[in-house]
Amino acid sequence: MQIIPINQNQINKYNFSFRKTDKTNGQNILEKTPKKDSFEITIGYINDLHGQTNNMMRILSGMKGDLIVSGGDNYIGDEKNRAVHDATVKFLNLIGLRGTALGNHEMDTKQGDLKTSAEKMNGSIFALNLEQTPLEEQTTEEIEKFNKTDLKEFIKKSDIIEINGEKIGLLGTTPVDLSNRATHPDYHRDCKAFDLNKTTELVQKEVDNLRSRGVNKIVMLSHLGIERDKEVAKNTEGIDVIIGGHTHELLEGIKEGENLLYSKNGEPVVITEAGKDGKHFGNLNLKFDKDGVITKAQNNLADTSLYHRNLVHQYIFNQILGKPEIVGEIEEALPPAKSLLEENPHANFMCDAMREEMDADIAVWNNAATRNFFKKGIIDSSDIKEIAPFADNISVAEVSEKTIVDAFRKATEISYSSIGNKPGLLAVSGLNYTVSPTKKTLVEMNFVDKNGVEHPIDINNPREDKKYKVVADSFIMSWGADYDVLSPKDKCTEYPFTKADLTCEYIKHMNKPVVVNQVGRIKYSD
């Protein structure tokens, strides 16, 4: 069966078989000649929330659907931030989540902690392509040290639920690159995710199982990423919808070849993905014929910022996270970076806060950890924690010029060469540097003292005897976070507060409306 685009002046309209659809005010719609028996459903979906609690509260004000599901990465990916985990579980229950894919950030905690969260959830976690070494084959020491548990007790392959009198099959997948995304690899050395070929085979097996039990409407919750989702859609039959995640795509409407594909037997498969950090959420309206084939589909994305936080929900979240403190006002702010290779003024501003409050020479931050941005208006501590949500303590060390240059050189080379440009160019205060996008390398670097005077650094012969007082979070400083380690943990002074805490203090100490426009620290040269 083929869908042929009609009227290219209207957005994303497609026609099944013979008759054209009526105009629907520019909405995205698929249709074929309907049969008498049909079933309609609205699927509300989210993915890659990354623990953004303020956006969760806004989503609660706008999300609707007969079936609420997630493409995974609901959690922040920071095991130390227990309160955010608890708030995320509360949100998933309040929204009526029935199922979620197992994202890589769900695996950033020990297995026992993941089980505790799962037991508090009303919905189910799915990952049919995850294999775990049986506990009886593991040592008691490993099990106790890393709080291991039997994952199959709470992670499902599939399930059948009933919506408006109809059976709906749910199944789910975890990323095939799960082991490469683990923040703490030791926690899950007993686990592996199968490759795409094996995953596709397992998906088909589970779909066949659901169909043998009388289910002809099947939704796959996936954290594979968009390109892998497409491969699964084309190389299986029986899946109707893939609620995706992992690659942070913003799939608006329905576009043939992008998020409308055809299964092995020619039936339509609709794929969704709503970006990241809860900035958008989706409603997918579907109509099925009596054989369980989609005859009509409409995919709507909502901008979360257009919805207000409900006072009741704010109260509930405050009970978990604590009441936020108003710290100041943002007079204006530049737009955030769109990629990890762009300079991010919001990350630079937080570097300024760290440098100033800790009286350091240089401040460094992982741009990829910048999960939100400053907005014009009154700002409180919860807004700032949304920008820097990870509970990594501040760390200060004396770091050599050579170590700094080596770290920035590696960051540049990896970021320009990797998929998704991860881990990204480093945000800084007290430095500026130039990179060559074509050569994928560091070209020049200058130390900028507190009077604004630049001091060139010879990046070809950086000094080991020249030391700078550097402030970063402990993850960047001593863990490396995909970069070179700046200083071993035993050579650092670690403080019991975070960059978000320092930024709150910095804004309060400024005692005036803040302008976030800190750019010019990364330059680009061919």
DSSP per residue over 420-461, as a string? GG-S-PPEEESEEEEEETTTTEEEEEEEE-TTS-EEEE-TTS
Highest mean pLDDT among 27-31, 56-60, 421-425: 56-60
The per-residue pLDDT for range 169-208, each reduced to its tens digit, is 999 999 999 888 777 888 999 999 999 999 999 999 999 9
Distance CA 304, CA 281 (A): 7
Distance CA 474, CA 445 (A): 24
* pLDDT given at position 425: 95
**pLDDT at residue 4 above 60?**
no
Chain mean position to CA 39: 32
Q: What is the pTM of this model?
A: 0.84
- Give the ranges where 282-380 is alpha helix by DSSP (H): 311-321, 345-357
State the average pLDDT over residues 131-151: 94
Rg (C-alpha) for the chain, rounded Å, is 25
Q: Which residues contact 107 (CB under 8 A, 6 or more apart)?
A: 114, 174, 178, 181, 182, 187, 188, 191
State the average pLDDT over residues 295-318: 94
How many other C-beta atoms are found inside a 10 Å radius of the C-beta of residue 402?
Answer: 16
The string of DSSP codes covering 384-425 is HHHHS---PPEEEEEEEHHHHHHHHHHHHHHHHHSGGG-S-P
Place of tokens 């006072």: 311
The per-residue pLDDT for range 94-114, each reduced to its tens digit, is 999 999 999 999 999 999 999
Give the helix/strand (H/E) hosting 98. Answer: strand 97-101
- The neighbouring-strand residues paired with 15 are 4, 31
Vertex 60: Cα angle to 59 and 65 (nearest 5): 90
- The CATH class given to the 324-524 domain equals alpha beta
| Helices 82-94 & 111-120 angle (0-180, nearest 10) | 30
Q: Would you kindly state where each structural domain of the chain is located, as residue ranges?
A: 3-306, 324-524
Q: Which residues contact 257 (CB under 8 A, 6 or more apart)?
A: none
The structural architecture, per CATH, of the domain 3-306 is: 4-Layer Sandwich (3.60)
Cα–Cα distance list, 461 to 383, 401, 523 (Å): 42, 10, 21
Decide whether 3-306 matches 324-524 in CATH topology: no
* pLDDT given at position 163: 95
